[in-house]
Amino acid sequence: MTIRTRLALQFAAILAVTLVLFTVVIYFFSYYSWRQYFTESLFARARIVAHVYLDGTNRADEESRASYRRYLRQFYRTLPEEEVYVYNAANEIVFREGQETEMAVPAELLSAVRQTGREVVLGSNYRQTVGLLYRDARRGDFVVVASSLDTTTREQLRQERQILAAGLFGSFLIVGLGSWFFAGQALRPMKRIVQEVDNIRASDLHQRLSQADGQDEVSHLAQRFNSLLDRLETAFAGQRTFVRDASHELRTPITAVIGQLEVALMQQRTPEEYRRVLQSTLDAARLLKDLTNGLLQIAKVSDDPSQVPFTLVRLDELLLQAHEEMQRRQPTCRIDLDFSEAPAYGATIPFSVHGNEALLLAAVLNILENACKFSAEAQEPIVAVLATDGHTVSLEVRDQGVGMSEADRQQVFVPFFRAATVRNVPGHGIGLPLTAKIMELHGGTITVASELGQGTQVRLELPAKLS
């Protein structure tokens, strides 16, 4: 079932229930009003008949009394199938008016009238019977019982039922058509959004939805979708750039390997020459391995962060592990470690963070390896300072190497970018971009400060793990 059909049915159902309830209320209000009106008419008839009887019986003879009753009938309207009885104190009929057949009046009704003063009995087929206690100072109390068929109410309610039924049918028809029309009008922006989304392809992610300039829910949806398109466009552009740069970087060592092997196969070589070619090929293969590992790490960090396991990591122990690894990789590089005294923070473990140990180790190794590579000619040692203030844990690595210009510093987090001053140093330009992604994954930051010829300072900051 489509949303339009569901909205139309729900809207029609709400209005239909409202109309039915309103119709029922009107019908029963009309029934009650007409019934009350007829009841009061019966009581009025009972009072008139009682007055006729008491006043007429004071006449001298029967002919005079009959003439008086005929005279009074000219001033009131006889009700349909009317029957009126006057009972004395002994519950005997002393006077009656109406049709020839005598109506059976139960003794319980007479007794109830004498106690309450008036009673109303609703019969079948719109017949009503009322009882009225009529008091006379000279002749005592009388019970007047009047009964009649309420044909007016019956006819009025029949006509009202017909009118209400026709009105309901017409209202249902109008409500059904109107709800379908208004549901279509309400969903027209959604239909336009669907058409615009269908026209967006991977090759034209620059397109945006046109319904995002309002304040309603559809506009909010279009705005969110446009934001999604912004992120997708950025991701696709980054992916294309990454693939292009990675292909270029991978092609260099592969070309070198192929060239070395082709030259070696062109003619017979001495064992020393073959050994030199194999060593050169091995160096190129190692560069290719390092580049491939770096690309895989970037892809891993850029993947779903929720799939990366986090544990409690001690950065002081991690720094010692990275220092040991750097001594194995770069035995001539001197790195001094400075563990600032950590103040007591209750149950907090100094230098502890919440993160992935392997990724954090890769980030620290990247920073230390860059410092070693770019300060190989410096006489001063590299200094790694680990500090904490209880809320953040920071690692600052300072070297006295060649440094870089401000323009180059602003590009250091772009994959495969290499500053002009270090292009003669082996590398691929993926260390700092990878470290930046690792810091982003852990909710941390990385900042780089450098001056040309004055060295570089790289600072990592991570939220401290509070226990």
Res 35: pLDDT:
86
Query: Which pairing describes strands 352-355 and 382-388: parallel, antiparallel, or unpaired?
Result: unpaired
- Which residues, including other chains, have CB under 8 Å from residue 398's CB and lie 6 or more apart? 371, 382, 383, 385, 455, 456, 457
* CA nearest to 242, candidates 282, 283, 196, 301: 301
Question: What one-letter code names the amino acid at 90?
Answer: A
Pairwise pLDDT comparison (274 vs 208), residue with the higher score: 274
Give the whole-angstrom CA distance, residue 434 versus residue 339: 25
Strands (E), 255-371: 311-314, 335-339, 352-355
CA distance 297 to 183: 51
Q: How far apart are CA 456 and CA 380, in angstroms?
A: 13
- Among 124-138, 179-193, 295-309, the range scoring the smallest mean pLDDT is 295-309
As its CATH architecture, domain 308-463 has 2-Layer Sandwich (3.30)
Residues 6+ apart with CB under 8 A from 235: none
pLDDT at position 314 over 80: yes
One-letter amino acid at 198 equals D
The rounded distance, in Å, linking the Cα atoms of 290 and 423 is 17
The 8-class DSSP code of residue 370 comes to H
Residues of the chain with CATH 3.30.565.10: 308-463
- Beta partners for 120? 130
Please state the pTM of the whole predicted model.
Answer: 0.48
Instruction: Give the pLDDT confidence score for residue 17 in this predicted structure.
Output: 87
- Start-end of CATH 3.30.450 domains in the chain: 3-157
pLDDT at 426 over 70: no
Pick from 110, 132, 130, 112: nearest CA to 121: 130
Q: Give the pLDDT band of residue 411 (cuts 50, 70, 90).
A: confident
More confident position, 429 or 441: 441
User: Of the ranges 212-216, 366-370, 404-408, 440-444, which one carries the lowest mean pLDDT score?
Assistant: 212-216
What is the pLDDT confidence band of residue 347, given thresholds at 50, 70 and 90?
very low
Backbone φ and ψ of 355, nearest 5°: -170, -170
Predicted confidence at residue 460, as pLDDT, reads 92
Write out pLDDT tens, residues 350-365.
Answer: 788 888 887 888 888 8
Q: How confident is the model at residue 156 (pLDDT cuts 50, 70, 90)?
A: confident
Q: Please provide residue 91's backbone torsions phi and psi, each rounded to the nearest 5 degrees.
A: 60, 35
Mean pLDDT of 183-210: 71
Average pLDDT over residues 377-405: 85
Residue 269 pLDDT > 50: yes
Quick one: CATH architecture of 217-302?
Orthogonal Bundle (1.10)
Q: Is residue 202 predicted with pLDDT exceeding 70?
A: no
Q: Are 321 and 362 in contact (CB under 8 A)?
A: no
Say how far residue 231 (Cα) sits from the centre of its chain.
22
pLDDT by residue (tens digit) across 32-89?
Answer: 888 888 888 888 888 877 777 776 655 545 665 566 556 555 445 567 777 888 888 8
pLDDT of 328 above 70: yes
Q: How far apart are CA 137 and CA 133, in angstroms?
A: 13
Mean pLDDT (the chain) is: 77
- Strands 335-339, 382-388: pairing kind: parallel
DSSP 414: S
Token pair for residue 87?
A: 């009972």
Q: Does domain 3-157 have CATH number 3.30.450?
A: yes
Residues of the chain with CATH 1.10.287.130: 217-302
* pLDDT at res. 212: 60
C-alpha span between 445 and 460 (Å, rounded) = 6
Q: What is the average per-residue pLDDT within 440-466?
A: 86
pLDDT of residue 414: 74
Give all strands (DSSP E) within 23-91, no chain letters: 83-87
pLDDT one-digit tens code per residue, 25-34: 988 888 888 8
Given a contact cutoff of 8 angstroms between Cβ atoms, the answer to whether 179 and 5 are in contact is: no
302-310 average pLDDT score: 66
98: which 2 tokens?
């109406």
Complete DSSP assignment for 150-178: -HHHHHHHHHHHHHHHHHHHHHHHHHHHH
Alpha carbon distance, N-terminus to C-terminus of the chain: 53
Q: What mean pLDDT is predicted for residues 383-390? A: 87
Beta bridge partners of 312: 354
CA pair distance 42, 130, nearest whole angstrom: 7
In eight-state DSSP terms, residue 381 is: P
10, 34, 161, 199 from 23: Cα distances, Å: 20, 16, 9, 50
What's the CA angle centered on 212, arms 207 and 215, to 5 degrees? 175
Q: What is the CA radius of gyration of the chain?
A: 52
Q: Are strands 93-98 and 83-87 parallel, antiparallel or unpaired?
A: antiparallel
106 vs 99, higher pLDDT:
106
What digits encode the pLDDT tens for the residues 331-342? Answer: 888 888 888 765
Instruction: Answer yes or no: is pLDDT of 104 > 70.
Output: yes
* Torsion angles phi and psi, residue 400, rounded to 5: -115, 40
Residue 89's closest CA among 124, 134, 29, 125? 134
47-51, 64-68, 96-100, 131-135, range with the lowest pLDDT: 64-68
Residue 92 has pLDDT above 80, yes or no: yes
